[in-house]
């Protein structure tokens, strides 16, 4: 099978910076509580008329600014998002039409915060199965629009943003090694958004806002990040001491610390930017990855581990030679 990897990348974050102090001023919390319990200091909020296709488009435009030929041969577009503009048309189609990719296949992928890493796996499979030549994979969110800004349990955690990569053929020895993708609805009611639905079975409370049992999600996240990371390393024949960088889903610094311990990688190898962006759901992994590439941390030929978890509950891990 040909080697498939990432051939271009870009990212975007809305302009408005929301610091912890802003929550302190309007709800029963403190900036200190938020930072010490989550590691988050600030996050970005989309403008009222700025939607997920807009931030996703921002990330693709950034990709094109860095590499004007970056979208060449792209014939499939996947947008991982938990906050799509609409049920249909897909956010992927809306973005594709604005970057000269009208006519390419386009669809949204719904696995909440695991979505971007799932999308990378789908892209590799489509190319290796002969169904696409190159795939544009976007993780884009305006998740703050589906989070109750008066609920201190959730409002403080989330931010908006997007990342975009092109997945395509790379020289032998580079690219993706293996994926572990999973989901288990047993914990599904610990983290949900019913924004578009009014009557779902299964005991999900009514209401349009994102609901969360923080403690349950925390326990699940620590276990699944550690286990799926270890599983994909074993599948790829990579020892944890040979991992150069881990790019984890950026939800909570304490979750990342506990997970790092579980798969035996020191915190100095964890790529982190949640202090500045909070949890941007499906956008955290590409936002963090692009920063680490741009500032020279991630270098040619290095061993990367991507790990994410999210609503479903779901998880996704991948190994990659950069």
Please give the residue ranges that form the binding site for ligand ACO (CB under 6 A).
Answer: 29, 33-34, 37-38, 112-113, 152-153, 156-157, 191, 212, 214-215, 217-218, 221, 251-252, 279, 281, 310-311
Nearest to 227 by CA among 259, 252, 255: 259
**Whole-number minimum distance, CB 158 to ligand ACO, in Å?**
7
- Nearer Cβ to ligand ACO (3/153): 153
- Nearer Cβ to ligand ACO (119/311): 311
**Whole-number minimum distance, CB 145 to ligand ACO, in Å?**
13
Could you give the CA distance from residue 185 to residue 183 in angstroms, rounded to a whole number?
Answer: 7
Pairing of strands 134-141, 74-80: parallel
- Nearer Cβ to ligand ACO (4/120): 120
79 in active site: no
Burial of 34 per CB tally in 10 Å (0-12, 13-18, 19+) = buried
DSSP state of 284: H
**Whole-number minimum distance, CB 36 to ligand ACO, in Å?**
9
**Whole-number minimum distance, CB 160 to ligand ACO, in Å?**
13
Give the CA-trace dihedral at 117, 209, 87, 181, to 10 degrees. Answer: 20
Q: How many Cα atoms occupy the beta-carbon half-sphere of 24 within 13 Å?
A: 11
- Nearer Cβ to ligand ACO (126/221): 221
- Given 79, 113, 252, 273, which residue is catalytic? 113
Task: Give a three-class secondary structure readout of 48-111.
Answer: CCCCHHHHHHHHHHHHHHHCCCCCCCEEEEEEECCCCCCCCCCHHHHHHCCCCCCCCEEEEECC
**Whole-number minimum distance, CB 122 to ligand ACO, in Å?**
18
- Nearer Cβ to ligand ACO (34/79): 34
**Whole-number minimum distance, CB 80 to ligand ACO, in Å?**
11
| Residue whose Cβ sits closest to ligand ACO | 310
- On whether the CB atoms of residues 40 and 157 are closer than 8 A, the answer is yes
- On whether the CB atoms of residues 259 and 240 are closer than 8 A, the answer is no
Q: How many Cα atoms occupy the beta-carbon half-sphere of 308 within 13 Å?
A: 35
- Given 20, 252, 273, 279, which residue is catalytic? 279
- Nearer Cβ to ligand ACO (125/214): 214
Could you give the CA distance from residue 185 to residue 41 in angstroms, rounded to a whole number?
Answer: 32
Annotated catalytic residues are 113, 249, 279
């Amino acid at each position: 099978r040909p080697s498939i990897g990432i051939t271009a990348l870009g990212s975007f974050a809305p302009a408005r910076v929301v610091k912890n102090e802003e929550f302190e001023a309007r709800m029963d919390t403190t900036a200190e509580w938020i930072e010490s319990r989550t590691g988050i200091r600030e996050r970005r909020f989309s403008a009222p008329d700025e939607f997920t296709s807009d931030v996703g488009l921002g990330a693709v435009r950034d990709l094109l600014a860095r590499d004007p030929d970056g979208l060449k041969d792209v014939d499939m577009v996947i947008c991982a998002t938990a906050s799509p503009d609409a049920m249909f048309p897909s956010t992927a189609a809306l973005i594709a039409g604005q970057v000269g990719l009208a006519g390419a296949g386009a669809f949204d992928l719904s696995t909440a915060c695991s979505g971007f890493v799932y999308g990378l796996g789908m892209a590799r499979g489509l190319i290796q199965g002969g169904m696409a030549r190159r795939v544009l994979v976007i993780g884009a969110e305006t998740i703050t629009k589906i989070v109750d800004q008066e609920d201190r349990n959730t409002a403080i955690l989330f931010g908006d943003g997007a990342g975009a990569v092109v997945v395509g053929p790379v020289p032998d020895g580079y690219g993706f090694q293996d994926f572990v993708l999973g989901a288990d609805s047993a914990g599904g009611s610990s983290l949900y958004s019913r924004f578009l639905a009014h009557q779902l079975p299964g005991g999900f409370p009514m209401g349009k806002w994102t609901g969360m049992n923080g403690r349950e999600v925390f326990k699940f996240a620590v276990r699944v990040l550690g286990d799926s990371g270890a599983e994909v390393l074993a599948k790829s024949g990579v020892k944890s001491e040979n991992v150069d960088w881990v790019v984890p889903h950026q939800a909570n610094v304490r979750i990342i610390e506990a997970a790092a311990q579980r798969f035996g990688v020191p915190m100095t190898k964890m790529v982190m930017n949640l202090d500045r962006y909070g949890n941007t759901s499906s956008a955290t992994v590409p936002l963090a990855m692009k920063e680490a590439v741009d500032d020279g941390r991630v270098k040619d030929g290095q061993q990367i581990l991507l790990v994410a978890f999210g609503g479903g509950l779901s998880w996704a891990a991948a190994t990659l030679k950069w």
